Amino acid sequence: MKRQLTGLQRALAAFAGGFALLALIFEFASTEGAPLPVWEFPLAGTFLVLGVLAIGRIWFQLPLFIDGALSVLGAVALLLALDTLQMAGPGYWFALVSTWMFAWLFVEQLAASIRAGRTSPTLGMLIPVVFGLSLLLIWEIIVRAASVPMVLLPPPSMIWTRILTSLPTLTADFLQTFKAVLAGFALGCGSGFIVAILVDRSPFLKRGLLPIGNFVSALPIIGIAPIMVMWFGFDWPSKAAVVVAMTFFPMLVNTVAGLNASSSIERDLMRTYAASYWETLLKLRLPAAAPFIFNALKINSTLALIGAIVAEFFGTPIVGMGFRISTEVGKLNIDLVWAEIAVAAVAGSAFYGVIALIERAVTFWHPSVRGGRT
């Protein structure tokens, strides 16, 4: 049975092969004004010839992993070529576009084949990975081959070496900032939760506080950072205070909304069991509120990191991620700044991921968790 390609896939295949052909025709690169033809780079040459041959899919069928392998080959060839060439010619850029097209074609076919049930869904994990790697590759190659000024954007490889060489600084900064994040997150979310349960008993307070809480969570609370630094000093407590203020209201609003999530028929059932207020709260209303509470925790996990780092712009002891970012920007040590950002990104994603994992374990009954793909 011949597998039919969709219009988009055919277009991608044609472009991928076409750009490989163009790359073979045009000047590939040059060094000190002397042109460097493509056969000086055997790997790149192999990739381009194979890429052109892949146009043959019009007559015979190609397994989709051939496209994946081709894009990997292209990526490796282009990266290796970077070491020897000085000026990238039009051929080099055509080869980059061709590599990118092959990666896209691979992903496109993989998605279609998973949807049709020909490939196991676990391979779907590859798709975001391929996308991320392509972004990194394009970033690295464009920055290095077009000699983008380092101030604007350093290549990922340089950021990576910087992370490895300045591990002690990064660790010290991370610990200082994360102290404030954790303390503020625990205090802010905890107090928001407790106030929500107290407010919940009084309909009057609920009507009075909720609109204000909703309003305040839309405000630029981050602006209180300078005030908190004045009140609590330069060290981490002032940052924790900013985090408390930022995380309190989302938690309050979401928990109150969550406590109203159980339906009246379920509450009536609890009443027929003669359940006390606390039993109803613990066994019915809090579990029903869990999705809302976790939503607030997830929002707060990013807010907490932002709050702590930005608060450090307003004054810190000489350690901390926000401090490092703002001072090294001034010294134009952009690679160290990007290293801090990478650490912050990994920490932020891990923080979010841990909360998401706990959520899956706690709210296993919720349709969004049971439904398979999230």
Q: Which residues bind other proteins (CB under 8 A)?
A: 8, 104, 107-108, 110-112, 115, 124, 127-128, 130-132, 135, 149, 151-153, 204-205, 207-209, 211-212, 215, 218-220, 222-224, 226-227, 229-231, 301-302, 305-306, 309-310, 313-315, 321-322, 325-326, 329-330, 332, 334, 337-338, 340-341, 344-345, 348-349, 351-352
Q: How far is the CB of 307 from other proteins (least distance, A)?
A: 9
Residue 347 vs 362, nearer CB to other proteins: 347
Closest CA to 129 of 66, 54, 72: 72
d(CA 5, CA 164): 45
**155 near 139, Cβ under 8 Å?**
yes
Q: Give me the amino acid identity at 39.
A: W
Q: How far is the CB of 45 from other proteins (least distance, A)?
A: 29
Residue 167 vs 212, nearer CB to other proteins: 212
d(CA 212, CA 354): 31
Q: How far is the CB of 157 from other proteins (least distance, A)?
A: 19
Residue 12 vs 141, nearer CB to other proteins: 12
Residue 215 vs 365, nearer CB to other proteins: 215
* Residues 365-372: contacts with CB under 8 Å, at least 24 apart: 366/290, 366/291, 368/291
Q: How far is the CB of 309 from other proteins (least distance, A)?
A: 4
Q: How far is the CB of 199 from other proteins (least distance, A)?
A: 10
Residue 164 vs 329, nearer CB to other proteins: 329
Residue 23 vs 337, nearer CB to other proteins: 337
Residue 24 vs 344, nearer CB to other proteins: 344
Q: How far is the CB of 318 from other proteins (least distance, A)?
A: 17
Q: How far is the CB of 1 from other proteins (least distance, A)?
A: 21
Residue 77 vs 199, nearer CB to other proteins: 199
Q: How far is the CB of 112 from other proteins (least distance, A)?
A: 7
Q: How far is the CB of 208 from other proteins (least distance, A)?
A: 3
Residue 92 vs 324, nearer CB to other proteins: 324
How many alpha carbons lie under 13 Å from residue 156 in its C-beta half-sphere? Answer: 13
